[in-house]
Every structure is written in C-alpha cells, then in structure tokens.
Chain A
Amino acid sequence: MAVTYGEGVDSGVIVGADSRTSTGSYVANRVSDKLTPVHDSIYCCRSGSTADTQAVADYVRHFLAQHAITLDSKPQVKTAAYLFQKLVYNNKDRMSASIICAGWDPVNGGSVYCVPLGGACVQQDFAIGGSGSTYIYGLMDASYRVGMSKAECIDFVKKTISHAMARDGSSGGVIRLAAIDKTGVERFFVGGNDLPFTPQ
C-alpha cells in the first residue's frame, strides 16, 4: 500500500508491503521485498504474478533511467505511473500485474498512482492492492485522514498491513516500509514478532 502525507514540496509518501510470496498455499519466500525502486525517489509496490511484476518494474526502471538523462532532472512520479500503465495495458491479456507507483518529485511533491490489472491509472491519496487488501478496505475507509504527519502515516501503514496479514492466507511475514520525500528514501523493517496486530 502507499499513503501520501504533508503538503506541497514538503509532502512525501509512505510505501509498505508484507513479505510473503506464495505458490498455491506454500510460502515460497517468507521475507520477500515487494517494494521496488524504479528511480531514486520513485518506488512501486508489486502484487500479482511475481514474474510479471519484476519484468515490468525492470522495464520501467530502464526507461525511466534514460528519461531522467534526457530530462536532466528527477522524473515525475506520474511519468513512471504512465510507463507502468502502458506496459500493463498493452499486455493485459498476457499478464497478471497490479502495481502501485508512489514517490516524490520536485514538481508535484509526494504522489500515489494505482495501476491495477486492466492497466488503468488512477491517482489517489492512498492506495491498497494485493489479495490482503480486500480485508482492509473498511479499515482504511474508517481510519484514513487527510493531513496525517509522517509518523502517523508510518503507524497507520504498519497497522493496516498487520490487519491484512492477520486475515489473508497469502499475506504474512514481516512488514517492509519506505518513506520517500525530498530528502530521499528511508527504509524500515518490522519483524514478524513486532507486528502491531496478530490473529486473536
């Protein structure tokens, strides 16, 4: 999931994800890293087929790197999101990739774009995705507030991901977070024993 916080150029995003990769009901990787940088201050949260999302993220990183050189500045998050959209949309019948593109750029500050399965691109204040997200739509709707501080956002992301992990069999492990703003990227780790919420 990804959440924006703050105002204008001081705004930023928090991206977070669980760490479970499953093949059917076997946990293939219990400590995966689903937060992938496509540029210095632009990350994507990958869900769906791991192969598809890794390939798409690799392509986007490649194109963004070239674009940043020709632009001679940090690319905008919306550009990255547009690249994701092009790839997912044009290959929609061949792929199962649902991506949240979030980050910071000097033009727009922090922003979050959701590129779900069909290849639409929707900008939102916060976005959730993946199988576990179905269990936290209600929690998000009830507890998200515009204008949370960075620290509040981090706690919010940790709490909601914990709730999804508690109910979804395909989610679990640890929580990985990244806070992205004008100063760069800071990564956090919440181990499986330190989750804010576990099954009761």
Chain B
Amino acid sequence: AHTRHIFWISTRRRDPLFVQFATMELPGALPNNAPRTHTTQPILTGTSVLAVKYADGVMMSSDTLASYGGLARFSNIVRLHPVGDNTLIGCTGDLSDFDQVKRHLHDLIVEDFCADDGDKITAPEIYSYLSRLLYNKRSKMNPYWTSLIVGGVSNGKTFLGIVDKLGMNFEEDFLTTGYGSHLALPILRNKWKPDMTEAEAKALLDECMRVLFYRDCRTINKITTGKITGAGPASVSAPYSVTTEWDLESFKKSKSSGDSAGSW
C-alpha cells in the first residue's frame, strides 16, 4: 500500500511515535508502484448523440441533460460544440472529460489561427487529432470517458466520424452513441437515405430522439439539433421538445383487475 515518507531533519526523527506516523500506510490507498489512474468511472454524464449526413452537410442531435448517476442534475447543458468554422462535435459520456477535450481543441484552433496560412482546420483533421488524443489517454490507463461524433464539410466533401474512449474510430453516413446505438441505429439503418433535405433529416432525428426519450432513463424531452454545412460555422438550435404520445386507450386503462395484480 501507499506508504508516506517524510524526509526532513527533525529532532524528533528517532522518536518512535513520530517514525510510526511518518511511515504509516494510508488506509484505502493503492500500492506505491501501481499506475496512477484518474478517470475510472464517469460521474456527470450525457447520454446519446445522433448524427446523419444530409444534402447540405451533417445534422446532429442530443438532449440537454447532465445526469449525476440516476439524478437528472443539470437540464440545460449543450453537448453539441462547434469547433472552428468547419466542424461540429457532439459528446456522450463524462462531461468533465468533454471540457478537457474542448480545451485541447481550442488550443488547436488558436495554433491554426497563428499559423495564418490561409487554411482553416477541417473536420477530418479534428477527427484524426481526437482519435490520437483519446487513444493516447487510453494507453496510459487514464481515458477521456467520452464518445465523440465529429462532423463537418470542407472542400465540398461531407465528413462524419466517431471516436470513443478506447480510441476506436470510424467514419459513416450516420452515427449514434450510447443508447442511441441500441434504439436509434436500427431506425436510421431503415430510414436514412443519401441527400435528404434539412426538413427530412430533422424529422428523422426527432423520431429517433422521441424513441430515446421514451426508452432511455437518462434523458429529458429537451433537445438541441446542430447542423454544419459548407456555409460558415456550425449552428446549434435553441432547446426544443419533441411531441410524445401517452394517451392510447391501452395506456390509460388501469392494469389491475380481477384475477391478478397485473399491474404491468
């Protein structure tokens, strides 16, 4: 275990009680030679992010909840973040780690500005940087506990990719994180088509977000949708709600009757 060593000249250093205090084991501490870890479990978290390529670029959607375990702690957190002029990223997972990622990306933007070479950093470059960053942290057993979706348009090409806390990364036409991968991805696989209009893309994402609000415990019905096109920096909408349906007859009916507790 972790042993504290106190090295300073002291007239008391041979006093047995002092020596005992100076060299005692800290309760609950890991051994001195164990790797130092930092982020071992996510604390304040955001749930799914969804993203699709559409005619003008990339559209991304997430809710505005930060969960503290089961507690819906902060309900006005925007998890979609424009980076520079050409990129939009969305984050699932630990939000303190997302803050760190945002600081790294800000440094990249400043460096890009100082280079002053007529080119602005693009989405594929951000994606590549993030995949190296997250893989490096994972390899030091101190991950950024996040899944990041990176989207953008540059040189007329639309880009959409994902990086997770292990450094796994790939590109696709539509991407999901968290519960979205279980609940929304099948819907997107069925309904996504290339070159949707903005309205079609938003309707598709809203449909997926509705399902997630119904079936993911860690959501609220307050959603932001961001889009990134070739025409200037990403824009993230103000929070809005999707319509939900609760008044089917079979829902309203009391389930307990006659023979069984039934109440399911």
Contacts and interface: CB of A to CB of B under 8 A. Distances in A.
A189 B71 contact: no
B256 A167 contact: no
Contact of A36 (B65, B214, B261): B261
Interface string B52-95: 00000000000001010111100110000000000000000000
Contacts of A149: none
A62 to B, nearest CB: 10
A20 B217 contact: yes
Interface in B210-264: 214-218, 220-222, 243-244, 246-247, 251-252, 254-256, 260-264
B256 A35 contact: yes
B4 to A, nearest CB: 38
Nearest to A173: B246
Nearest to A200: B75
A199 B75 contact: yes
Contacts of A32: 255, 263-264
A34 B246 contact: no
B71 to A, nearest CB: 6
Q: What DSSP secondary structure best describes chain B's contact surface?
A: loop
A169 B217 contact: yes
Contacts of B70: 131, 168-170
Nearest to A189: B252
A35 B257 CA distance: 11
A173 B254 CA distance: 15
B261 A34 contact: no
B192 to A, nearest CB: 24
Interface string A120-136: 00000000000100010
Contact of A169 (B76, B218, B254, B261): B218
A168 B72 contact: yes
Contacts of B247: 189, 191
A101 B218 CA distance: 30
Contacts of A131: 70
B217 A61 contact: no
A99 B245 CA distance: 29
Contacts of A191: 246-247, 252
B72 A167 contact: yes
A95 to B, nearest CB: 15
B18 to A, nearest CB: 46
**Which of B70, B71, B243 has most A Cβ within 10 Å?**
B70
Interface in B166-183: 179
Contacts of B222: 199
Contacts of A25: 179, 216-218
A169 B256 contact: no
A174 B251 contact: yes
A37 B261 CA distance: 7
6 contacts: A25-B218, A46-B263, A168-B72, A169-B217, A189-B247, A200-B75
Interface of A: 20-22, 24-27, 29-37, 46, 50, 54, 57-58, 61, 131, 135, 166-170, 172-174, 176, 187, 189, 191-193, 198-200
